[in-house]
Amino acid sequence: MALDRAALLLLVLGLGLAGAQKTLEEVPLQPGFEARRVEGRWFTLRLAASHGDLVSPTDPLRLALHSIHVEDNGDVAFLLLWRGAGVCGGENVTVHPTELQGQYRGSFEGGRLRVRFVGTDYSSLILHVRFEDEDVTSLWVLLARGKLEDPQWLGKYLGFVGKFHLQEAPVFNVDGQCPPPR
């Protein structure tokens, strides 16, 4: 009887562990993803991460995604802009297609990046970014073509925030060019 209970306990724990393991692979991909249709300007509406202290609301430096470009070779470039405390700049972070449609790979600041287009109707977009250096950080981003949240996509996004136990972080949107140097 005691043995049976131990076996049952192991089975339950085993299933639990299998479940936890599975969530790592459970980041979906937009079926039939068409990269060309995500080109252009996007606004960040929500951001959540696997680490809580990723973005400090008091940090004067604001980093924001501005737009997405698709190169002729299929690479996807994310134009990131930063502003604040006397600095202003931008950089394209380029990722390359993988064997999975909608999944891209690249590197950033010495770490490895994996980007997944989780879901999109090309007006709203849920993006998953996995950044790996000494640590692994997952970012989940809800983007839209305008500043209004589509309740359906917000619902999907919040579903992932709950499922993966993510911490929501403040978001910034930065526009335009740097002022000319004086």
Q: Give the SS3 label for residue 103.
A: strand
Binding string to ligand NAG for residues 78 to 97, with x set by CB under 6 A, is what? -x----------xxx-----
User: Phi and psi of 96, rounded to 5°?
Assistant: -110, 150
- Interface with ligand NAG includes 70 (CB under 6 A)? no
- Tell whether residue 154 is a contact of ligand NAG (CB under 6 A): no
Which C-beta is closer to ligand NAG: that of 26 or that of 71?
Answer: 71
Using the rule CB under 6 A, is 27 a contact of ligand NAG?
Answer: no
50 near ligand NAG, rule: CB under 6 A: no
| Distance (Å, whole) CA 131 – CA 173 | 21
- Tell the smallest beta-carbon distance from residue 80 to ligand NAG (Å): 8
Residue indicated by tokens 């937009």: 30
Residue whose pair of structure tokens reads 């930065």 in the numeric block: 174
Number of CB atoms found within 10 A of residue 125's CB: 23
Site residues (vs ligand NAG, CB under 6 A): 69, 77, 79, 90-92
